[in-house]
Amino acid sequence: MLSAENYPFEGFREFRRTTVAVPCSKSVAQRAVLAAALAAGESRLANYAPCNDIVGAVEVIRGMGCRIASDGTTLHIEGVGAERLGRCTKIETGESGLLTRLLTPLASHISALNGGAPVEISGHGSILKRNLHEAVAALREAGVHCSAREEGYLPFRIEGGITRREISFSGRESSQTVSGFLMTLPLLQDATVLTVTEPSSIPYLELTLRTLTRFGVRLNREAFYDGVCGGTPSKIVFSVPGRQEYRPSDVFLEADWSSAAYFAVAGAVASSLGRTEGITLRNMRLDSLQADEKILDILRSCGADVSVAPADASARGDMPGDLQNISVTATGRRLKAFEVDATHCPDLFPILAVLAAHCDGTSRIAGVGRLTQKESNRAETIYAEFRTLGARIDIRGDEMFVTGGPLHGGDVRSHNDHRIAMSLIVAGLFTPEPVRLDDVKCIDKSFPSFLDLLARQE
């Protein structure tokens, strides 16, 4: 594997890949790993590929007493069941915001099982700089005592269980906290009604609901809209029966659309410039519920051709689900500017800045407000680092405007943000001078094989 330890890192100067298979989604994997821990018995998670965030989830449940083994690309988890988690008093979540938010409600349940004994959640690196005040506020709304450094920063000290049977909080800043509650509420003795106002990243809530269904957990939900039905609901009400048990399950961990987006954009730009004929993303799921699958619609709106063909069924073994090979090309044409609301897919922002820089005209990307509490303040980071490479970017309110035009090389910073680093490296594929980064080790958070896959000319 290519070393990412010698800095500064000088990016690759060309892109000639025609096909790629990206690893599993960490969003899918982290949810499945926790669900498997809550199910007494063995679950099998196929298409497993480790990254820092997924390994972090595996280590958490190992500390909870689960037995874990890996058989090639299949993870075998012997879950302990929800009622045997009371001995866990400290949880380390690494640098993962998703893992932290999924575990905060569960920590309250563990505390209740242990007679109200405190459970501490901590992490390291960038997560210690992220204000998770909305997770703290949601716990307190549910009747849980939670103390935090400066009212929103790890470590958290959580004491006692969820006591309220009607809970309401805003989901505007993060859907991950909502997902954490949805995974924990079925374990309570009584039914609970959870009202989420201003829900965001709704596809990821759907992803959580799909995971719950796979592990035998059921709940009802009703969406409410202001005015005409359609668009984004103003609130969602979840009715969650209590005393449920997770059941072991076999799950195929589908490929990650966030990771695929870097290669889809690189392939579209390279083919538009006449360097390749496009790229094929192998073994992807089209009904994934991952929000970043939206990259295909965006590329179509830019004028790229997107075609679909069935993948080899052997790719998923005996696991359920249909996989597709997705081809993206823009051979012989200029890409055109696009408009998109990325409120529900904010992780696409950095790579969309790369795409927009290679489109004719000015692209408009809404949803900037979702970027402040990521590994970096991504609005500020995109603005600063891409302008260093010559991008014409403006931010007005909740919208980012990028006017297409040539980029040049330069020295840029990743800000310890994996998505910023990968997007800057993709941008450097098409600059006349090299793009040099101060740090690329952060890429291991989600996509440790990224540099290897990008370097291969296949």
- The topology (CATH level 3) of 1-23+256-455 is UDP-n-acetylglucosamine1-carboxyvinyl-transferase; Chain (3.65.10)
Q: Could you give the angle at the alpha carbon of 399 between the alpha carbons of 346 and 425, nearest 5°?
A: 50
Beta carbons within 8 Å of 86's beta carbon, 6+ residues apart: 110, 113, 114
Cα-Cα-Cα-Cα dihedral of 196, 200, 203, 204, to 10°? -80
> Quick check: pTM over 0.95?
no
Query: In this structure, are residues 80 and 42 in contact, taking their beta carbons and an 8 Å threshold?
Result: no
Average pLDDT value over all residues in the chain: 93
Per DSSP, helices labelled H in 227-375 are 257-272, 295-301, 349-357
User: Matching CATH topology for 1-23+256-455 and 26-167+176-187?
Assistant: yes
Q: What backbone torsions phi and psi does residue 285 show, to the nearest 5 degrees?
A: -105, 125
Q: How much of the chain, in percent, has pLDDT values that exceed 90? A: 85
pLDDT of res. 309: 95
Task: Report residue 7's pLDDT band, with 50, 70 and 90 as the boundaries.
Answer: very low
- Provide the residue type at 353 as one letter: A
The pLDDT of 264-269, averaged and rounded, is: 98
Distance CA 258, CA 246 (A): 28
In the residue annotation, 312 being an active-site residue is answered as no
Q: Binding site residues for phosphoenolpyruvate, as ranges? A: 26, 97, 130, 176, 378, 419, 445
In the chain, domain spans: 1-23+256-455, 26-167+176-187
Q: Write the pLDDT tens digit of every residue in 307-347.
A: 999 997 766 555 556 899 999 999 989 999 999 999 999 99
* CATH, range 26-167+176-187: 3.65.10.10
Q: Please tell me which residue in 347, 360, 417, 444 is annotated as part of the active site.
A: 347
Q: Write the pLDDT tens digit of every residue in 98-140.
A: 999 999 999 999 999 999 999 999 999 989 999 999 999 999 9
Burial class (CB in 10 A: 0-12, 13-18, 19+), 143: middle
- Using the predicted structure, report yes or no on whether residue 246 has a pLDDT greater than 90: yes
Q: Binding site residues for 3-phosphoshikimate, as ranges? A: 26-27, 31, 174-176, 201, 347, 374
Q: Write the pLDDT tens digit of every residue in 171-183.
A: 998 999 999 999 9
Distance CA 112, CA 404 (A): 55
- Provide the residue type at 362 as one letter: T
Q: Binding site residues, as ranges? A: 26-27, 31, 97, 130, 174-176, 201, 347, 374, 378, 419, 445
